[in-house]
């Protein structure tokens, strides 16, 4: 390894060459290999050794089900390298993907506006530079004004994107909704350059997917989630939706099981979760 290069992961795994020189490989299959990941490259060691410098990877993430061999696998990471596409899977897939994202992001500089929105109110925050670090649990930002911002990867309620001029350059900006250390709903806006944008998009899409509320909620359940999201006290919900207290208790139980709300102190003292915020956002978007 070169000076300063660090090994992040070394384990058995598999790769599938989905595209070669711009053409789908229809008969592609998984090949057993050793995967060596460093801060500068990915090496795939099988009968032959292939080394992929991180600087040559154009895009990461998203499925590329070139055939049934790829489609039949629940989880893999996709690398777009010029006109080639390679799929990778490892025994500890989540940990491998985090290590891969870390290789691109850790200790690099991004631009951050925090809090851009707090409690639904736009703040006067300015864009600042921040050093980024990724863990299994969170995206951590050390901002130049001394703030330390943590975005839990299981606490991302919604992400929107916009193109804006930041530091004199047109950039893609991620507007990330999450909670702060005091459990208040806030938005942190982030942007970067090149590969940073690609990796941040993969991380945030994964976070939203973790909390995406693909739930079959009844109209009353949806109304309750909207009420809680709007600040209605859990104790006022029965009157708000015109339902008996006992019926609301049963609905609270179901929403707790679905991780849409969570208990605070008493059985009926609840607050909206990131998944619940996603339900509310989707409901408001459909109205």
Residue 23's CATH number: 2.30.29.30
- Residues 206 and 123 both lie in one domain: yes
Quick check: 93 and 75 in contact, CB under 8 A? yes
Q: What is the DSSP secondary structure assignment for residue 135, as one 8-state letter?
A: -
Domain containing residue 65: 7-91
Contacts of 227 (CB under 8 A, 6+ apart): 237, 240, 241
Instruction: Say how many Å lie between the first and final Cα of the chain, rounded.
Output: 56
Residue 104 lies in a domain: no
Q: Who contacts 233 (Cβ-Cβ below 8 Å, separation ≥6)?
A: none
Counted domains in the chain: 3
Task: Give every CB contact of residue 154 below 8 A, 6+ residues apart in sequence.
Answer: 137, 207, 210, 211, 274
Alpha-carbon distance values, 57 to 15, 198, 262 (Å): 15, 10, 41
pLDDT tens series, the chain, 287 aa: 777 789 999 999 999 999 999 999 999 999 999 999 999 999 999 999 999 999 999 999 788 999 999 998 888 999 999 999 999 999 999 899 999 999 999 999 999 999 999 988 889 899 999 999 999 999 999 999 999 999 998 888 889 999 999 999 999 999 999 988 888 889 999 999 888 998 999 899 888 877 665 556 788 888 888 888 777 888 888 888 888 888 888 898 888 877 777 777 655 567 788 878 877 877 777 76
pTM exceeds cut of 0.75: no
200 and 231, same domain (yes or no): no
207 and 225 together in one domain: no
Domain end call among 91, 124, 141: 91
The domain spanning residue 247 has which CATH number?
1.10.10.10
By the 10 Å C-beta count (0-12 exposed, 13-18 middle, 19+ buried), 124 is classed as: exposed
In a domain, 154, yes or no: yes
């Amino acid at each position: 390894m070169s000076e300063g290069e660090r090994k992040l992961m070394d384990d058995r795994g598999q790769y599938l060459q989905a595209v070669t020189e711009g053409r789908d490989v229809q008969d592609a299959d998984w090949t057993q290999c050793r995967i060596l990941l460093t801060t500068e490259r990915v090496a795939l060691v099988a009968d032959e050794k292939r080394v992929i410098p991180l600087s040559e990877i154009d895009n990461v993430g998203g499925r590329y089900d070139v055939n049934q061999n790829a489609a039949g696998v629940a989880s893999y990471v996709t690398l777009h390298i010029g006109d080639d596409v390679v799929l990778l899977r490892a025994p500890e897939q989540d940990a491998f993907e985090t290590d891969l994202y870390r290789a691109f992001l850790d200790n690099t500089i991004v631009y951050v506006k925090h809090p851009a929105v707090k409690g639904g109110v736009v703040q006067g925050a300015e864009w600042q530079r921040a050093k980024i670090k990724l863990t299994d649990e969170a995206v951590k930002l050390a901002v130049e004004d001394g703030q330390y911002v943590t975005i839990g990867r299981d606490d991302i309620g919604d992400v929107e994107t916009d193109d804006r001029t930041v530091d004199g350059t047109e950039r893609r900006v991620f507007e990330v909704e999450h909670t702060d250390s005091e459990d208040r709903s806030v938005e942190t806006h982030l942007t970067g350059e090149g590969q940073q944008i690609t990796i941040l998009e993969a991380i945030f899409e994964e976070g939203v997917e973790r909390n995406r509320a693909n739930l079959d909620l009844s109209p009353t359940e949806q109304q309750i989630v909207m009420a809680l999201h709007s600040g209605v006290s859990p104790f006022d919900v029965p009157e708000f939706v015109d339902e008996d207290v006992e019926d609301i208790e049963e609905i609270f139980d179901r929403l707790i099981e679905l991780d849409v709300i969570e208990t605070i102190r008493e059985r009926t003292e609840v607050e909206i979760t990131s998944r619940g915020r996603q339900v509310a956002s989707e409901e408001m978007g459909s109205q």
